[in-house]
């Protein structure tokens, strides 16, 4: 028994939808923009957000929290000029890359104590939970 009826005669829109997804090109969008991959994990005491951004320095990142929205961004400009005086030409190569990722934080996150580290191409943010959101220890009730 089929719960959802599909029309297999007209597959073209689904192919177009799949092609236009940002992940279709392995995280790259058209016009040379890259979206770094992100892992998010949760423990009893915190969340951890890992963003893959190899080849950068910690100074390249801007991390902001505003109105429960965490925003991570980076912008990089490179320029290389090579001159050859014998042939009298200048070759100029330049590049520009940037990204911006935003995440809505759950109310359980303690924004005042968020910490970030960058090591071996991974930007890691530790998002501790508020004391109210931490699991309560087991309480034994004595029978009177």
Phi-psi region of 143 (alpha: psi -120 to 50; beta: other; left: phi over 0): beta
Please check whether residue 11 lies inside any domain of the structure: no
Name the range with the highest mean pLDDT among 56-65, 71-80, 84-93.
56-65
Please check whether residue 17 lies inside any domain of the structure: no
Please check whether residue 139 lies inside any domain of the structure: no
pLDDT in tens, 36-58: 999 999 999 999 999 999 989 99
Please check whether residue 2 lies inside any domain of the structure: no
- Report d(CA 53, CA 119) in Å as an integer: 10
Please check whether residue 39 lies inside any domain of the structure: yes
| Number of domains making up the chain | 1
- Report d(CA 122, CA 50) in Å as an integer: 6
Per-residue pLDDT for 22 more than 60?
A: no
CA distances from 36 to 3, 74, 117, 121, 130 (A): 37, 11, 16, 11, 28
Q: Containing domain of residue 102, as a range?
A: 26-132
Please check whether residue 75 lies inside any domain of the structure: yes
Please check whether residue 30 lies inside any domain of the structure: yes
Write the CATH number for 96: 2.60.40.790
- Report d(CA 96, CA 79) in Å as an integer: 9
29 φ, ψ (degrees, to nearest 5): -100, 170
Collapsing DSSP to helix, strand or coil, 21 comes out as coil
Q: Which of 25-29, 61-65, 108-112 has the lowest mean pLDDT?
A: 25-29
Please check whether residue 19 lies inside any domain of the structure: no
């Amino acid at each position: 028994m089929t719960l959802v009826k599909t029309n297999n005669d007209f597959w073209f829109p689904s192919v177009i939808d799949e092609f236009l997804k940002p992940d279709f090109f392995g995280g790259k969008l058209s016009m040379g923009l890259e979206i770094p991959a992100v892992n998010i994990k949760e423990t009893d005491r915190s969340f951890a957000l890992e963003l893959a951004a190899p080849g950068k320095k910690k100074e390249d990142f801007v991390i902001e929290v505003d109105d429960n929205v965490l925003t991570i961004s980076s912008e990089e400009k490179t320029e290389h000029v090579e001159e050859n005086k014998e042939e009298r030409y200048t070759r100029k190569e330049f590049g520009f890359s940037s990204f911006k990722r935003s995440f809505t934080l759950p109310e359980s996150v303690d924004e005042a104590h968020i910490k970030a580290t960058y090591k071996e191409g991974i930007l890691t943010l530790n998002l501790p939970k508020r004391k109210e959101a931490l699991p309560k220890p087991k309480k034994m009730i004595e029978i009177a």
